[in-house]
Amino acid sequence: MTRRLDFISRINKVITQNRNRDELLAKICSLVIQYGTFELSWTGFIDPEQSMVVPYIACSREGQLLDIPGISLSDPEEQGGDDPCGDALIRGFSYTCNDLSHLKESPKWRGWAEKNGYRSLCSVPLRLYSELIGAFMLLSKECRAFDRDQIEMLTEMGDDISFALSTVEGEARRQSAEDSSTASRTQVQPPDHDQLLDLIDHSADGILLTDEEGMILIWNQRMEELTGILKVQGLGIPLGAIVALLCEDSDPQECQQIEQMLRTGLTPFSKEPRIRRLITPAGEYTEIEAIRSVLSTGCGFRIMIIIREISRQSSNESIKNSTESECRMLIEDLPEVIYTVNEHGVITGISPAIERLSLFSAQELIGRDFCELALPRDRAALKITITASLRSDDSPHLVFRTLDRDGTLHHLWGSHHLKNRPGDKSGLIGVLFEKAYAGDNRF
């Protein structure tokens, strides 16, 4: 066990310290021979014209490397070809043969391997982001050289190498983009997320924004001052509960209107301000006017409420229109990812923020299993959590990792709850955010 941990530690050190693809692969191949129990290691990439994984970088304990044959790839739609290693790779699996003499098929590499004294081999797929690009191959002159622990370790190592290759590629793409973006920097840019959030947070009006389930997403500083409820307390509270808590004169009709807004995504009453009595933090009453409206955005509808003290003289409509525009821009650029899944865990809606955190666009994710967002090694645990949430009222937190198109690794946290809108089948609605946002104390 100590030797295995030392071996993995050395591999991970090579991965973190090398940002050149060829140097990275050469050092890994050399390290495997130096500290492993194998005689030959090589990495290769797919040649589409030959339909084969062609050796690219190799290392041998004996020092001589002569005409190493590649791995033939069969059509994934067919039952199988004459190369079992290639059949496994094209389907995204590792392949192990612990005694070549018992192999029924006769791929090109078998005769070469037996001629050079190799008795067993193991190959694992290499991917760039999620696409198969090649293989990592190990050969030994001993039979049964690969036990279960070694196969698991090598499979994990293949995932780590794939991640490293994606990171190297991502850095190359970023550098290329930076080199070619000088002209575009002179263009006028719209306000960024931080500017919009600061603008709303320091508005003279109290502003709150909910998701489609009525759970509060935005609660600005003026809302804290008017209500005495802190932002960290307000976020996540249902809209109906907030209205009942704040307004001394709430009535059943208003509760029904709020339920109708959540059910239909429409405003069932006049958009003119409504005069209300608000209970202040000091326990006193003050008159306010409240404007409620529904915002339709690219990631679903949101309910917005603006409140202000009657003593303030201003143009209601101009302030409402200005705030709606700011909120709409903010929603589309929220760093948090808002999503919905159906009763099978399939994504039915997701906000554009996911595009900077994953390999997919928001549109491409519609209809995919939610677990496809995560790195392969995180998917099993994520699937268990999603399935448990769909079967009960429990809402455990989500913790998993994603890889974006630039090869950057993101650590995501999240929470969700069962959808309960009338007419909907069971499913979940939730929000994801990067670990860096954990300081918001939203969960």
Burial 52-86 (b: 16+ CB within 10 A, else e): bbebbbbbbeeeeeeebebbbbbeeeeeebebbbb
Q: What is the pLDDT of residues 63-97, one digit of tens each?
A: 776 689 999 987 655 655 678 998 888 888 999 99
pLDDT band of 443, cuts 50, 70, 90? very low
Chain-centroid distance, C-alpha 256:
37
| Best CATH choice for the domain 2-179 from the list 3.40.50.261, 3.30.450.40, 3.30.930.10, 1.10.10.10 | 3.30.450.40
Q: Examine the pLDDT at 319 and tell me if it is beyond 50.
A: no
**Residue 262 backbone phi and psi in degrees, to 5:** -70, -35
Q: Examine the pLDDT at 418 and tell me if it is beyond 80.
A: no
Whether the predicted model's global pTM rises above the 0.75 cut = no
**Can you name the CATH fold of 193-332?**
Beta-Lactamase (3.30.450)
User: Do the domains 337-440 and 2-179 match in fold?
Assistant: yes
Q: Name the nearest CA neighbour of 433 among 319, 356, 341.
A: 356
Q: Name the nearest CA neighbour of 417 among 425, 406, 428, 402.
A: 428
Quote the percentage of the chain above a pLDDT of 90. 15
Mean pLDDT of the chain: 76
CATH superfamily for domain 337-440:
PAS domain (3.30.450.20)
70 is written with which tokens?
Answer: 């590649």
* Contact status, residue 371 vs residue 130, Cβ threshold 8 Å: no
What residue segments make up the domains of the chain, in order of their start? 2-179, 193-332, 337-440
d(CA 185, CA 181): 6
Of 122-131, 245-254, 268-277, the range with the highest mean pLDDT is: 122-131
Q: Name the nearest CA neighbour of 146 among 95, 104, 183.
A: 95
Q: What is the pLDDT of residues 6-54, one digit of tens each?
A: 777 788 788 877 778 899 999 999 998 887 788 999 999 999 888 899 9
**Residue 137 backbone phi and psi in degrees, to 5:** -120, 140
Outline where DSSP puts E strands in 164-246. 206-210, 216-219
Label the pairing between strands 398-403 and 337-341: unpaired
Lowest pLDDT segment from 156-165, 307-316, 368-377? 307-316
CA distances from 319 to 13, 247, 253, 316, 326 (A): 56, 22, 26, 5, 11
Is the pLDDT higher at 426 or at 387? 387
Amino acid at 414: G
Mean pLDDT of 424-440: 64
